[in-house]
Amino acid sequence: MFWFFFACAGPEVARPACDDVGDRAAAVAPAGVAYDDLAEGDPLPYGTPPQGGSPYSPFHVRTSGLVDLGEGASVRLVAEDIDGDVLLGDTTYELRMVCANVGDDAGSWVGSDLHQRFDGYDLDGLEGREVRITATVADRVGGSVSDSLIGVLTRM
């Protein structure tokens, strides 16, 4: 009688292609607007959310060069009034991102739309303000990337 033993390694867990991208980069744009299509001074839509509450402006973010964002990421949106150097909003989200494999986002981490909230402001108090929106995405191992844009708050 012969005994044969076979050692089998467990399946190798493939890391998303997004983890292999070496260049750290981020891009932020208003929801529904392609990245890099917003020129400085273009309108940034804002309004009242359907459920009520503080005014908001919707954005989307993509990033590369960070790792394991599918396990968790921190995304911080900061809105500053350019003229008065006033903080209008500071919102942080903890979320999982997805490694896109098609289209313009292929090879980048993407997530759901994010809402910059303007707590303490009403619709009239925001109209026409020129603002800088800065998005910072951080992974769980200390890496981070940022991008910003400048536009004029305009009611949706």
pLDDT in tens, 26-55: 999 999 999 989 899 999 999 998 888 999
What integer is the mean pLDDT of 110-139? 95
Tell me the pLDDT of the chain averaged across its residues. Answer: 88
Burial degree of 118 (CB within 10 A; 0-12, 13-18, 19+): buried
Residue 50: which residues within 8 A CB-CB, separation 6 or more? none
pLDDT mean over 112-129:
95
| Separation between Cα atoms, residue 31 and residue 26, nearest integer Å | 15
| pLDDT at residue 101 is higher than 60 | yes
pLDDT at residue 5 greater than cutoff 50: no
The residues facing 30 across adjacent strands are: 59
CB 138 within 8 A of CB 144: yes
Give yes or no for residue 13 having a pLDDT over 90. Answer: no
**Top-level class of domain 17-155:** mainly beta
pTM to 2 decimal places? 0.85
